Chain A
Amino acid sequence: AQTVTQSQPEMSVQEAETVTLSCTYDTSESDYYLFWYKQPPSRQMILVIRQEAYKQQNATENRFSVNFQKAAKSFSLKISDSQLGDAAMYFCAYRSVQGAQKLVFGQGTRLTINP
């Protein structure tokens, strides 16, 4: 079974600075998807960014980018120019391309933005 590990329970960053959240995963599959979801205090799950494992190019979405290292099974999220609205729990998730394609989540990282 696949597992996802986020080793940083909490992170903090100064507003306008850059922060990187770590995620590692374990799988024997060669093709899969990886996601970062944001969960603000409202507890809504909001998709931040996705990466297809077959793509070598790292995904980017405005201020959000990933560093996908397939051999190392690492998938970190970089947030540039941090804003107060970025404060939230961030969950890394894995999804197989086989079967029901459920999401397997990490434990989450709580990000605090200091003004």
Chain B
Amino acid sequence: EPEVTQTPSHQVTQMGQEVILRCVPISNHLYFYWYRQILGQKVEFLVSFYNNEISEKSEIFDDQFSVERPDGSNFTLKIRSTKLEDSAMYFCANRDFGFASTDTQYFGPGTRLTVL
């Protein structure tokens, strides 16, 4: 069964540094999402992306965050200047679309981001 993959699995960075989290989606999936889970808390929506543009973003997704598909396949989340409170697990999710779609979001294994 196709899987969503994410790299790196764990990223440690200094406060104020830029990080890029990468996601390789399932090939025929057209909808992309990023979610965040601070340790011990619920999973929170950050942003959705479709047809090469953001379709919705949460209030968490401020100017420090950006998303893109740099090569038409990978899907990235960039945090320009990390803060301590950005420490969390970041999940990429994809959703398929179309007649045979299961219309379900499939999650990657997550990237644990630690900001020191």
Contact = CB atoms under 8 A, between A and B. Distances in A.
A47 interface: yes
Nearest to B57: A100
Nearest to A52: B103
Interface residues of B, number: 25
Interface size of A as a range:
20 to 34
Interface stretch (A12-20, A37-45, A79-87): A37-45
Contacts of B37: 43
Contacts of A99: 55-56
B110 interface: yes
A103 B109 contact: no
Interface stretch (A21-29, A62-70, A104-112): A104-112
Given A45-B107, A47-B106, A100 B42 contact: no
A98 B72 CA distance: 25
15 contacts: A33-B103, A35-B104, A42-B109, A43-B89, A43-B109, A45-B110, A91-B43, A100-B48, A100-B55, A101-B31, A101-B95, A102-B33, A102-B45, A103-B105, A107-B41
Interface of B: 31, 33, 35, 37, 41-45, 48, 50, 55-56, 89, 91, 93, 95, 103-107, 109-110, 112
